[in-house]
Structure 1
């Protein structure tokens, strides 16, 4: 009998701030040795997996807190929908308009054997740095499967579907 595992699901939060007629998004460079020398397609929306019984929105808030090291800022949550990633995981993302200083981040960490086969366990930040990026820059930096969320945010803001300047939906 084939085993059935639950599909891998992840949820995240994409902060944005308006800059004149455009906007910027806050994204994070993935930590650890595999991403250390990469910029293109090496950044991510703060996100993580969630378990059955936890809502995607609750997971998005929890993961932002774990990866940025600070609570989710106040603001209206704008649903940006889902995207199936190349590895098969489905990611659900919301956007929140907020102003945060990337220097205030205190990222969570993970432990792995490095170098491989050395028997040495080392700790690395989940996200080693955060940056505000214009949509065009984010499109280059984000892993391919997450670029759609920046485009969806652009469409929502252009259509007036995002929160207004007072943070109301």
Structure 2
């Protein structure tokens, strides 16, 4: 069976002279009390034959309610321990983290209760400095933050 792949967007902005990155927190009961190491770039799975960047834009909209456009800079894909490859693009932009509107998923909850509940795929979002984002983001996505930082420092990505 082929491994699923994901695609996502690392949105960033400049506040004063500081860069900030946009991360989302997964919804649902399993993540409700987790914070450090639980946040992610908005992302989702895509099928073979689909354009990964278009999938990343679609997933960003589904998880946040915001459309994102701009100069997308491809980041180096990362392979997760389970074999899934995550593709990502950095783009300069802005949105109101407090105003996200996420799609939902259905889950039997409580377990073995026979009852299904709807949960938001993303329950909150936030803008973080790179230092704070390093603590918040899933370890498997840390390379995206590091690569964005290097690209900005090397002037291969403009922070504005």
Instruction: Report the alpha carbon displacement of residue 22 of structure 1 after superposing the two structures with TM.
Output: 3.3
State the Cα distance separating 1:163 from its structure 2 match.
3.7
Match of 2:99 in 1: 104
2:129 equivalent to 1:134: yes
Q: State the TM-score, normalizing by the size of structure 1.
A: 0.91
Q: How does 1:14-93 map to 2 (within 5 A)?
A: 14-72=10-68, 74-93=69-88
Extract structure 1 runs of 4+ deviating beyond 6 A: none
CA distance in 2, matches of 1:67, 1:35: 16
Post-superposition shift, 1:75?
1.6
Shift of 1:69: 1.3
Q: TM-score, normalised by structure 2?
A: 0.95
Q: Report the CA distance between 1:21 and its aligned residue.
A: 4.1
In the alignment, the residues of structure 2 paired with residue 87 and residue 19 of structure 1 have an alpha-carbon distance, to the nearest angstrom, of 36
Compute the displacement of 1:83 (Å). Answer: 0.3
Where in structure 2 are there 5+ consecutive unaligned residues? none
Which residues of structure 1 form unaligned runs of 5+? none
Q: Which has the larger radius of gyration?
A: 1
Deviations 1:18-59 (A, max 9, x none): 234431100001110000001011111100000011011111
How many Å separate the matches in 2 of 1:99 and 1:10?
A: 22
CA distance in 2, matches of 1:16, 1:43: 15
Shift of 1:104: 2.1
